[in-house]
Amino acid sequence: MGDLLDVQNLSVRFEVKRGGVFGKKTYLHAVDDISFAVKKGETLAIVGESGSGKTTAALAVARLVNAWRGKVALSGRDILGLEGEALRQARRQVQFIFQDPYSSLNPRQRAEAIVREPLDSLSDKPDAEKQEIVAGLFKAVGLRPEQQRLFPHQFSGGQRQRIGIARALATRPELIICDEPVSALDVAVQAQILNLLRRLQTEFGLTYLFISHDLGVVQHMSDSIAVMYMGKIVEHADRISLFSNPLHPYTGALLSAVPSVDKARRAATKRILIPGDPPDPVNPPKGCRFVTRCPVAEARCRDVPPPLREVRPGHRIACHLVDERAVSPLAAVQAPA
């Protein structure tokens, strides 16, 4: 299948006031020149620690924050330049599932009205058809018909997230952006919601942009993965390649921290600790963004930003220390003592 979503050179910056009223304008580049694509019917996960820019990138794709520059093409049409009715129509094709099911639902609205809201805003369907769609969505996400009349506080956390999923499906979008959709839920409920999302993806032919910091969840959900650090994509590969052969030191450190029940895997993997905190995002390092915390950094890493380049088919990496052999520079560090 072709690419449903094609993001090119996307950047998002926020003005930071420093030095009083007449101080020089400075900018925080939350997303800094990233590019990726998602094939129709597949899931791309964007992972990274807090502050990496993954949620901001997703918000920019959905036109919920303004991009500074770049291109976001949905089914070949750049949606960043759309306004008015054209933007309204495009919003029907991109919907959002938010992280917190407790704060993302209007407490004064009944569940039925919450799910119906996108239809009222973005479609001109008759009321009877809207009601039929809402009833079908409640069934699709595993909620009972009589629960349509309840308020959000009368549902559990998992049920509230099911309402959020039903709301996202109301306009029959092509792309759904899932922003940490299970991080606020109990572990047992997380599995139920993830399985629901996978079933709905098949049933409705959905494409997901999945934002998460939980690599266990990502491994269960994604077809491909982009790893972000301080506004940059540092590694992008299919799920199997990234988990079996992570190349960037940051990716390797993240994966080394993932718990495993496999004794052989635990014995073969040494925990890689990432020292310190990320640098000031307003004044990032001159070269590689990860250089101040990288255990294998060299002099060139401090001076020259590494380009995101393909070292194997479909596997892109932004690291000076990875050559055409596609061997992680952490290989020696990760070897068990």
Given this model, what pLDDT does residue 208 score?
A: 97
Q: Which residue has the higher pLDDT, 274 or 182?
A: 182
Residue 15 reports pLDDT greater than 60:
yes
Domain ranges within the chain, ordered by starting residue: 1-93+174-186+202-229, 246-337
- As a whole-number percent, the residues of the chain with pLDDT over 90 amount to 69
Count CB neighbours of 36 within 10 A: 22
Q: Are 329 and 319 in contact (CB under 8 A)?
A: yes
For residue 32, the SS3 value is: strand
Q: Among 80-89, 104-113, 222-231, 300-309, whose mean pLDDT is lowest?
A: 80-89
Please state the pTM of the whole predicted model.
0.91
Exposed / middle / buried, residue 57 (Cβ in 10 Å: 0-12, 13-18, 19+): buried
pLDDT tens per residue across span 135-177: 999 999 999 999 999 999 999 999 999 999 999 999 999 999 9
Given this model, what pLDDT does residue 279 score?
A: 86
DSSP for 70-133, please give it: EEEEETTEE-TT--HHHHHHHHTTEEEE-S-TTTSS-TTS-HHHHHHHHHHHH----HHHHHHH
Q: pLDDT confidence of 264, banded at 50, 70, 90?
A: low
Residue 38 reports pLDDT greater than 70:
yes
Average pLDDT over residues 170-193: 93
Mean pLDDT of the chain: 90
Given this model, what pLDDT does residue 102 score?
A: 87
Element (H, E) at 59: helix 54-61
Which amino acid is present at 197?
Answer: L
Residue 32 reports pLDDT greater than 50:
yes
Joined together, the tokens standing for residue 268 give: 């073969």
Given this model, what pLDDT does residue 23 score?
A: 66
- Look at the domain 1-93+174-186+202-229 and name its fold: Rossmann fold (3.40.50)
Given this model, what pLDDT does residue 337 score?
A: 45
Q: What is the Cα–Cα distance from 263 to 66, expressed in whole angstroms?
A: 47
